Amino acid sequence: MLTFLRILLTGLLGVLHDGDGVTAFGGVRLVGGKNKCSGRVEVLRHDEWGTVCDHGWDLREADVVCLELECGLAESALHGAAFGAGTGEIWLQHVQCSGHEYSLTRCAAVRHTNSYCTHNNDAGVKCSGTLLTPTLTLLSPHTVFSPGEAVRFSCSVLRGHHLSDFHLYKHGVATPLVTQRADQTQARAELTLSDIETFHQGSYSCRYRIRSGYPSELLSSPPGNSINITVVELLTPQHCYNTSTEAPAGSVIKGHSFNINCSTPQQYPGGSFQLRLIRSNGTVRHSLPALTPSVTFTFPNAQASNEGYYYCLYRVQLGGRIFVSRESQPLPIAIRDPDPVLSPVVISWLVSGLTFAVAVVIIIIVAKVLCNKEKKPSELERETRTCVDNTYVALSINKL
């Protein structure tokens, strides 16, 4: 349908004014090439095909021919009868196209000039067959980014073809994320993604559009090569600690063990957790590989040097860049000396000693009671003393 409309419009509007009046042209064709999109340029006038002189012939005119024949864009504008010399009339000389005409017959031209032009000057074109594929280049020095940064691309074609605009596409998204208008001679445009977020991560390509046809038709190129970008968003880690149950909240008893656990809901290959201790006399750092979303830092023997504020961080190196998360909230830990009153060992000793003392007292009391019961005299028992050789002998006389 598009071809039919072009031919119809060419027949209706394809006129060239000269001193003899109005001359109608019926079409354009390529002859002598390896395929339908290359060859010597010929135009039809009064049912007779003739050639075009190569004086002033360049890519602008070649583009118009290629687009008119639905052969994409011109790869080259050829001079000197590159596809062989034609026969018959040389219908057009010094053709001057802006690049936006829908047909070569709509370009300004001179049919009769004083310049010498023969069939050895027949113009030719080599078309791409389809619109040339653009090239996407990453201008930013890396492919891995943090949220909020900008990513700079460049989209270009081999040469300028009076492009309309350039577009940056993300694979899987139908509408372009960035559009940049082009001037008439521009063959390259810079396309910038500003203030990127995690959803911008993915693969990108670019396209360009060119105006063709009458009154105005925009043709879109095929997508170019792909470039992948990664957006790293490190979430703030969470932390917690545990120690012996007898320690007050926020503290660890000296000599006891304690653990600090750091975790994150999102991790990347090769990441690590860092535990930072800020104390009065400096900063101490510990690190463990993040093989899982959670790691545990163990301190088997708490000392005064372990007292301070602890912070968890997540760190990863990707694409030659180092990314570090925000610090977790501070975790204050105080180291306390053991309390002798509350010490389990002391309490155990006290209980054992008290139990032993009570037992001894009970034994003594029982023994004393038993002993007194055995030695108590009867009511009839009396004691007398006799001195024999200055020795008193106690005699016990029992009443019969």
68-83 pLDDT tens trace: 888 888 889 999 999 9
- Report the pLDDT value the prediction gives residue 146, as an integer from 0 to 100: 95
The parts of the chain modelled with pLDDT lower than 70 are 1-26, 111-115, 159-162, 184-185, 212-217, 339-347, 373-400
- Asked if residues 280 and 308 have their Cβ atoms less than 8 Å apart, the reply is yes
Tokens 């700079």: give the residue.
152
Position 5 scores a pLDDT of 42
Rounded alpha-carbon distances, angstroms, from residue 320 to 227, 230, 236: 17, 12, 22
Q: Which CATH superfamily is domain 238-336 in?
A: Immunoglobulins (2.60.40.10)
Report whether 398 contacts 380 (CB < 8 A).
Answer: yes
Spatial contact of 309 and 329, defined as CB atoms under 8 Å apart: no
What pLDDT is recorded for position 115? 67
* Nearest to 25, CA basis, from 78, 95, 79, 82: 95
Structural domain boundaries of the chain?
A: 2-127, 135-231, 238-336, 339-400
pLDDT of residue 373: 65
What pTM did the predictor assign? 0.63
Domain 2-127 = CATH 3.40.50.2300: no
CATH class of the domain defined by 135-231? mainly beta
The whole-number pLDDT of residue 223 equals 92
Whether 135-231 and 238-336 share one fold: the answer is yes
| Main-chain dihedrals φ then ψ at residue 202, nearest 5 degrees | 150, -160
* pLDDT, position 184: 64
Return the pLDDT at 142: 95
Beta bridge partners of 331: 310
Which residues face 312 on adjacent strands? 275
* Predicted pLDDT at 327: 95
Residues 101-127 as b/e (b if ≥16 CB within 10 A, e otherwise) read: bbbbbbbebbbeeeeebebebbbbbbb
DSSP 368: H
* pLDDT of 336: 92
